[in-house]
Structure 1
Amino acid sequence: MGKVKKSKPARSRKPVVETHSDEEEQVPVDSKENALQTILDQLQAANVEEKYCGLQTLAMLIESPENIEPILNRGIVKVAAPLLIDPASSVRNAAAGALRNLSNVKLEVCDQLMEQDIMTPLTCYYHEHAADWTPEMSSKTKDDDKDTFIQCTNLLLNLCESSELAVKYLGQSKILDILPRYLNLSVFGCDVVIAVLQCLFVVVEDNPFAMEKVKANSEKQLQELITLDGSDPSILLTKTLAAGVIINTCGGNVIGLPANVVNGVISILANTLSVDHRLACNQLSSNVPLGDSKGKVIAPKGNEAKVLENQLKAVSQLLDAQQSAVEIVANLCSCEEGDENIEEDSSDDEVDEEICNNGDEPIHSEDKLPPEVMEAMISLEIFDKVWSRTQLPAQNVMMILKEYEGSQMIYKKLHNVQTRALLCINNMLSTLPIDSLGGVNRVYKIWVDAGKLVFQQNAENVNLLESATAVMRASLDKIKVKENGDINGCNLFSDMALTDIEMMLTGIKECQVPEIRANLIRMIGILALLLVNNLNDITSNVICTITEFILEQAHKENEVWVLAEAIDTIVDLYSEDETDVLAAKVKLVDKLAVLAPILKNKARQQKRLPKEYKVLVSTATSNLPRFIKYKKGRISSL
């Protein structure tokens, strides 16, 4: 979830389930091969205790990443998956927990689970054990059955998130007819309803068949869920997810929804994002046990343990709710315009300014969102609320949450929320009018703050870096559009010197991730373009340095779409007539003439690209020869 104009990032995987038991400590320390064979033997035994023990051992091995590949290679999933429909409730529960945890490891694991036919027994589970089940207070297996349903639903979510084949299986089954009955809060409780909503939130998106099914079977329940009263994190999460499912059932096109529903949905998002997640984490960290001088942590017991467990669950639900909320806002603001129309019919002799500007006519922000959505987002200050989600708790709080095993998932979720919020800010910058964002000075501050995340923090979090560089790029784009429409625009960058951009240039040189590299190249190009409005000796020097740097990087670039981004950036920068003298100074035409065949060759070699990258490469390849001819004529007349 959380669309951006380029690619749709994968949602964070759901947290693993604790599956510890007394049997784990009794497992003999055998060789890995012997252990796997023992598990296979136990899973195929007739005895319930043997099967249960085998599943518990499997769950324990899954906790170590180095065991995942051997488990998959031995085909253990083919043997474990049918236990989802075992007659014994305890076996079904253990199988669901272990397989759900396995699906949680990474996307590639889900692909292998699909290859080992996990969907057949999973589908049978819903048909045989979930179609008519209702929890009975007197039943001994009530809690097991409830937990099994939740784990199976989370397993289904992970598979559908990773595999189009899983979505196809889902459509061919009756699962979408079964899941809506579990949206009854009074019968099944919050945990079950939340699990179902999380699954529907994912499987309905961009899936017309699922949209119609869920709309037909669940419209009334969803309307009831978004009107729930209360501010408990479980209620916030339920309402937020229900709002997300409603939006997804109409394909994100909220124009078709009644005005009161649209206003209600935006209000839910605003309420969810208004809760101070940093304060909640600060309070949680006060109750998290700390290690002694030797690093040993004494886990709380009795009532103290129960209080901490409830607090951990509440903060986890709050962060899940806020992540879902920013993903919904990001989708509403994704504004995917018709990039697929590529104009290639202009002759080489006809070079006009529109081509040299790459057809970049500014589109009014107000036209990108339905008026009622725009008005609600502005009046409820959604942008400010999303921006607050990009801020992490204090460093000492983060360290406490990271060091205690029970709160490590909270630590990870905080980073997930931060990354998703930055992606959402990227979309909102492209969609909302600049005045509603706080004006040029506020957008400039966002650019600076995003830059601190990129250049002053640990570079290991690739997702964070990509989303933060996207925000930097979108911020400068917004300022550029404002300056183009305002002769007296801000002069925020007029005093910028070479020393101010050296860190950025070094960051691009060292960057190994194409998406981040492309964002940074485009960003410094926009920065240079802003300086064109304030030409003097210093700014001219900066523009020339940026130009030479981008051209040098273009020669080194292996990814054709990043090369196209670099060339497109240069074309944008030098389409202004005021840059003719600078173009002559850096010998731009000659250098671009050398790059043109390189771009063409790489485009032939790298044809298997996502659609948005193909558009970029095609546009750059088409525009470059015309631009070279156009600029050559301008320079020759100097």
Structure 2
Amino acid sequence: MGKTKNPKYKRAQFSPDGLTVSAVKDLVAEEDDVGDCPAVELLEKLHSPCADMREYACASISRMVQQSKSIPGLLQRHAVRRIGPLMLDNSLAVRETAAGALRNLSVCGGLEVCEVMVQQDVLTPLSALLKECCVGFQTNSTPMKKEPKHTVEDVANEAVNLLWNLCENSSTAVSVFNKAALLDTLLPCLERHPHHIQLALSAAHCLHTVTEENTELAVSVTSPVLAVLENMLLSTEPDMEHILLRTLAAGSVWNLKSCLSPAHQPDALSAVVAALAHCLGLDFGTVASELWQTQAARTADGPAATEEHPAGGAVEEAEDMCELGEEARANRRKGSQKCTWTDKDISDFLPRDRLELRGALALLTAQQTSLEIIVNMCCSDEPSDDEWEELSSSDESEMCADSCTVDENTSLLSPLCLSAELHTMLLNYNIPQQVLKRAEFPSPVALEICSKDSTWRCLIKKMHRVQCRALTCLHNILAAMDTECLGGAAGLQVVAQRLSWLVFSLAGQNGDGSFLEAVTSAMRSLLQIMASKNIPPCMNPQQLLSVCEAATSCDLVSVRVNALAIVGITGSTLAKEAGSAHTLQLMGRVLLHVASRDCNLVVCGEALDALLDVFADGEEAERAAHDIGLLAALKALQPAFKAKIRKEGRAKHRPDQLCVLDNVRINLRRFIGYLESMQKK
């Protein structure tokens, strides 16, 4: 068992836990019983002849949808169809607030609501609005009444964010994006970056989303599109928001690499890797300190950046909007083996006077995005050779005969393989070392700064998130690259020591299950490589027993699986050392307990696989196996394990998991036979 696929990043879906169809129906029924509610009055005000009243109604609905219980009533009363036309209102203010209300609805409603919005034709007025905005950019005039507090760029920013949310959550929206040629409306928004960086960033986020695995769009990409991306990628603006813009451009170029000519691919890829390396090379502690000092100097004659800062409430609201996605991520990942995260950039919700906070958040978002891009560069969707060991030759693996197919892809820059050119570029730009630095715990300087001000505290979670991405990225680098890139045996030992510190230090337990999943995945990959090269492990017996404890106590299945694999890998090496029988006994008892008691079949299979690894060979292993009665225990476990595979295998588990479980079943039978033969000697 003992092998895992490299995690791959999909673009995040902002709030897929929003409201299920049944929940919507239930709450709509409740709304019908009430008969009257604030939504009715606000929806009526949308048709007021007064522009200020229409704006007020849109703004009120924008706030109302942040209470999820109000969403079904609004949908039942066709709010989307009633607000949508106001995106083409004669007033810029009404256009902006209408687009903002629908944007918030898409954020707070989640997958189901976004799908409903698309079905209710929100993309028709949205597309028209974006096209009119593009005309306004070009002519510097619009058919709308001039309003000093509202600009065409502000309207376009809300519209692009709405489009981004819809495309993240709805494949139908992506299909409409392709057919309506909305890519042409994003390009002018991107080109506004010298004048309106927030609009350009929103467009860049949207483009990064819609270009991922979108072959229909890729075939229609033209030279002007690539030229705009190249212009952003090669820009030299030093501020943090432009660094984020370059990172998003790099991600889009990577997504569209199939559109590049063979002659242009190496230069484009080099520019992509250079942008990622520059971003990761910036130390957030240093940047945060400089930005904090700048903020202090700028506000010295005005309100201090303290708890009482008037912008604090707006920042808290922005953080709350982000938390919707965080909760969604946790819910969606339960039972899922794919590494998909929900991390919506909240910078657009922050007050405009918080320039330094915007810059700090932009850098963290850029580093997170850079790491996700590198993860996909080093990702393999194919099973490794040793993961499917013996499956092709075993006549007892009927269960996975139809599912273990290999998708061949020999493209030079395919994410299914790491080409020699890409490997060299990643090394030339010191990407592995940069990733390792980001995997270390956030600097005390940055944590202290972010703890001083309530408006900066949202960055602490973001720092931990960057660390988790770096650990996952390290996992994929270890699996895809030559280990010499980390300094050979000595370098791997150093990395192992750092990861061990993260696993076992209290400082590393940041309360987020994703941290334990990321660090144990990286540790597992590293120990597999070290074992294959006969490099001594870095953990002592006490630490191994701590991992055993984690295997039985953590709620997250992936962490338990990783912990068990770490025990198996390290225990198999420990079994070759003299005097290790006592430790092996303790490990064996814990693994037997997990294999017999854990409610998850995959975890049980990993525990059995670890047992086979630990007690496969060596005098110490034989002595320990005899002392704990391993043969009798495995004989007792075998029938229940086989029955559990037959009962719930196909219904609850993926084909790749079934293949591995079936392999464990076969190896367990063989191992029992081996123990029986040893007992007869």
Deviations 1:7-57 (A, max 9, x none): 64663859xxxxxxxxxxxxxxxx997333333332354543222112212
Q: Report if aligned partners of 1:565, 1:616 keep a CA contact under 8 Å in 2.
A: no
Residues 155 and 583 (structure 1), Cα distance of their counterparts in 2 relative to 1, 3 Å cut:
farther
How far the C-alpha of 1:403 sits from its partner, in A, is: 6.8
How far the C-alpha of 1:504 sits from its partner, in A, is: 2.7
Residues 564 and 10 (structure 1), Cα distance of their counterparts in 2 relative to 1, 3 Å cut:
farther
How far the C-alpha of 1:206 sits from its partner, in A, is: 1.7
How far the C-alpha of 1:491 sits from its partner, in A, is: 5.8
Instruction: Work out the CA distance in 1 between the residues paired with 2:636 and 2:507.
Output: 36
Instruction: Work out the CA distance in 2 between the residues paired with 1:561 and 1:69.
Output: 38
Per the alignment, residue 100 of structure 2 pairs with: 97
How far the C-alpha of 1:248 sits from its partner, in A, is: 0.8
* Residue 375 of structure 2, aligned match among 304, 327, 330: 330
Task: Look up the SS of the partner of 2:122 in the other structure.
Answer: helix
Deviations 1:86-114 (A, max 9, x none): 44322221122233234334xx6232231
Q: Report if aligned partners of 2:65, 2:104 keep a CA contact under 8 Å in 1.
A: yes
Per the alignment, residue 187 of structure 2 pairs with: 180
Q: Report if aligned partners of 1:560, 1:617 keep a CA contact under 8 Å in 2.
A: no
How far the C-alpha of 1:76 sits from its partner, in A, is: 4.1
State yes or no: 1:517 paired with 2:517. no
How far the C-alpha of 1:247 sits from its partner, in A, is: 1.0
* Residue 346 of structure 1, aligned match among 380, 384, 394: 394
The more displaced of 226-235 and 60-69 is 60-69
Q: Report if aligned partners of 1:244, 1:328 keep a CA contact under 8 Å in 2.
A: yes
Residues 589 and 306 (structure 1), Cα distance of their counterparts in 2 relative to 1, 3 Å cut:
closer
Alignment of 1:266-281 (within 5 A): 266-281=273-288
The more displaced of 415-424 and 281-290 is 281-290
Per the alignment, residue 434 of structure 2 pairs with: 385
How far the C-alpha of 1:532 sits from its partner, in A, is: 2.6
Task: Look up the SS of the partner of 1:337 in the other structure.
Answer: coil
State yes or no: 1:230 paired with 2:237. yes
Per the alignment, residue 447 of structure 1 pairs with: 499
Instruction: Work out the CA distance in 1 between the residues paired with 2:378 and 2:558.
Output: 21
* Residue 618 of structure 1, aligned match among 639, 654, 659: 659
Per the alignment, residue 297 of structure 1 pairs with: 308
Residues 35 and 127 (structure 1), Cα distance of their counterparts in 2 relative to 1, 3 Å cut:
closer
Per the alignment, residue 536 of structure 2 pairs with: 490
Instruction: Work out the CA distance in 1 between the residues paired with 2:311 and 2:430.
Output: 41
Q: Report if aligned partners of 2:492, 2:526 keep a CA contact under 8 Å in 1.
A: no
Per the alignment, residue 552 of structure 1 pairs with: 593
How far the C-alpha of 1:182 sits from its partner, in A, is: 3.4
Q: Report if aligned partners of 1:243, 1:268 keep a CA contact under 8 Å in 2.
A: yes
Q: Report if aligned partners of 1:78, 1:118 keep a CA contact under 8 Å in 2.
A: no
- Which amino acid in 2 is paired with 1:120? D
How far the C-alpha of 1:67 sits from its partner, in A, is: 5.7
State yes or no: 1:210 paired with 2:217. yes
Per the alignment, residue 239 of structure 1 pairs with: 246
Structure 2 gaps of 5+ residues are: 16-33, 313-349, 398-415
How far the C-alpha of 1:272 sits from its partner, in A, is: 1.2
- Which amino acid in 2 is paired with 1:328? I
Q: Report if aligned partners of 2:14, 2:110 keep a CA contact under 8 Å in 1.
A: no
Alignment of 1:41-80 (within 5 A): 41-63=44-66, 76-77=79-80, 79-80=82-83
Per the alignment, residue 563 of structure 1 pairs with: 604
- Which amino acid in 1 is paired with 2:628? V
- Which amino acid in 1 is paired with 2:594? Q
Instruction: Work out the CA distance in 2 between the residues paired with 1:324 and 1:297.
Output: 33
Instruction: Work out the CA distance in 1 between the residues paired with 2:381 and 2:78.
Output: 42
Q: Report if aligned partners of 1:123, 1:175 keep a CA contact under 8 Å in 2.
A: no
Instruction: Work out the CA distance in 2 between the residues paired with 1:80 and 1:516.
Output: 45
Q: Report if aligned partners of 1:193, 1:238 keep a CA contact under 8 Å in 2.
A: yes
Structure showing greater relative contact order (alpha-carbon pairs closer than 8 Å, 6 or more residues apart) = 2
Per the alignment, residue 134 of structure 1 pairs with: 136
Deviations 1:101-141 (A, max 9, x none): 34334xx6232231243672234322354264232556635
RMSD (CA atoms): 3.8
Task: Look up the SS of the partner of 1:607 in the other structure.
Answer: helix
How far the C-alpha of 1:166 sits from its partner, in A, is: 2.8
* Residue 176 of structure 2, aligned match among 169, 173, 188: 169
Q: Report if aligned partners of 1:77, 1:116 keep a CA contact under 8 Å in 2.
A: yes
Q: Report if aligned partners of 1:285, 1:401 keep a CA contact under 8 Å in 2.
A: no
The more displaced of 623-632 and 524-533 is 623-632
How far the C-alpha of 1:281 sits from its partner, in A, is: 1.9
Instruction: Work out the CA distance in 1 between the residues paired with 2:273 and 2:624.
Output: 48
- Which amino acid in 2 is paired with 1:114? E
Instruction: Work out the CA distance in 2 between the residues paired with 1:102 and 1:402.
Output: 32
State yes or no: 1:591 paired with 2:633. yes
Q: Report if aligned partners of 1:177, 1:213 keep a CA contact under 8 Å in 2.
A: no
- Which amino acid in 2 is paired with 1:117? V
Instruction: Work out the CA distance in 2 between the residues paired with 1:8 and 1:186.
Output: 27
Q: Report if aligned partners of 1:83, 1:95 keep a CA contact under 8 Å in 2.
A: yes
How far the C-alpha of 1:60 sits from its partner, in A, is: 2.6
The more displaced of 521-530 and 399-408 is 399-408
Per the alignment, residue 122 of structure 1 pairs with: 123
How far the C-alpha of 1:479 sits from its partner, in A, is: 1.8
How far the C-alpha of 1:212 sits from its partner, in A, is: 2.1
Residues 481 and 38 (structure 1), Cα distance of their counterparts in 2 relative to 1, 3 Å cut:
farther
Residues 401 and 40 (structure 1), Cα distance of their counterparts in 2 relative to 1, 3 Å cut:
farther
- Which amino acid in 2 is paired with 1:200? L
The more displaced of 194-203 and 142-151 is 142-151
- Which amino acid in 1 is paired with 2:136? T
Residues 68 and 96 (structure 1), Cα distance of their counterparts in 2 relative to 1, 3 Å cut:
same
How far the C-alpha of 1:467 sits from its partner, in A, is: 1.5
Instruction: Work out the CA distance in 1 between the residues paired with 2:164 and 2:636.
Output: 49
Per the alignment, residue 366 of structure 2 pairs with: 321
Per the alignment, residue 376 of structure 1 pairs with: 425
Per the alignment, residue 524 of structure 2 pairs with: 473
Instruction: Work out the CA distance in 1 between the residues paired with 2:606 and 2:222.
Output: 41
Instruction: Work out the CA distance in 1 between the residues paired with 2:49 and 2:5.
Output: 51
State yes or no: 1:464 paired with 2:515. yes
Aligned length: 582
Task: Look up the SS of the partner of 2:439 in the other structure.
Answer: coil
How far the C-alpha of 1:451 sits from its partner, in A, is: 0.5
State yes or no: 1:632 paired with 2:673. yes
Q: Report if aligned partners of 2:372, 2:469 keep a CA contact under 8 Å in 1.
A: yes
Instruction: Work out the CA distance in 1 between the residues paired with 2:159 and 2:120.
Output: 11
Task: Look up the SS of the partner of 1:134 in the other structure.
Answer: helix
Q: Report if aligned partners of 1:323, 1:417 keep a CA contact under 8 Å in 2.
A: yes
Residues 70 and 571 (structure 1), Cα distance of their counterparts in 2 relative to 1, 3 Å cut:
farther
Q: Report if aligned partners of 1:86, 1:92 keep a CA contact under 8 Å in 2.
A: yes
- Which amino acid in 2 is paired with 1:490? P
Q: Report if aligned partners of 2:450, 2:457 keep a CA contact under 8 Å in 1.
A: yes
Residues 117 and 45 (structure 1), Cα distance of their counterparts in 2 relative to 1, 3 Å cut:
farther
Instruction: Work out the CA distance in 1 between the residues paired with 2:520 and 2:187.
Output: 40
- Which amino acid in 2 is paired with 1:529? S
State yes or no: 1:530 paired with 2:578. no
Per the alignment, residue 18 of structure 1 pairs with: none
Instruction: Work out the CA distance in 2 between the residues paired with 1:94 and 1:165.
Output: 25
Q: TM-score if structure 1 supplies the norm length?
A: 0.80
Task: Look up the SS of the partner of 2:650 in the other structure.
Answer: coil
Q: Report if aligned partners of 1:327, 1:420 keep a CA contact under 8 Å in 2.
A: yes
Per the alignment, residue 482 of structure 2 pairs with: 433
Instruction: Work out the CA distance in 2 between the residues paired with 1:147 and 1:307.
Output: 12
> Identity over the aligned pairs, expressed in percent?
21
Deviations 1:314-337 (A, max 9, x none): 222222221221111111111332
Instruction: Work out the CA distance in 2 between the residues paired with 1:207 and 1:447.
Output: 36
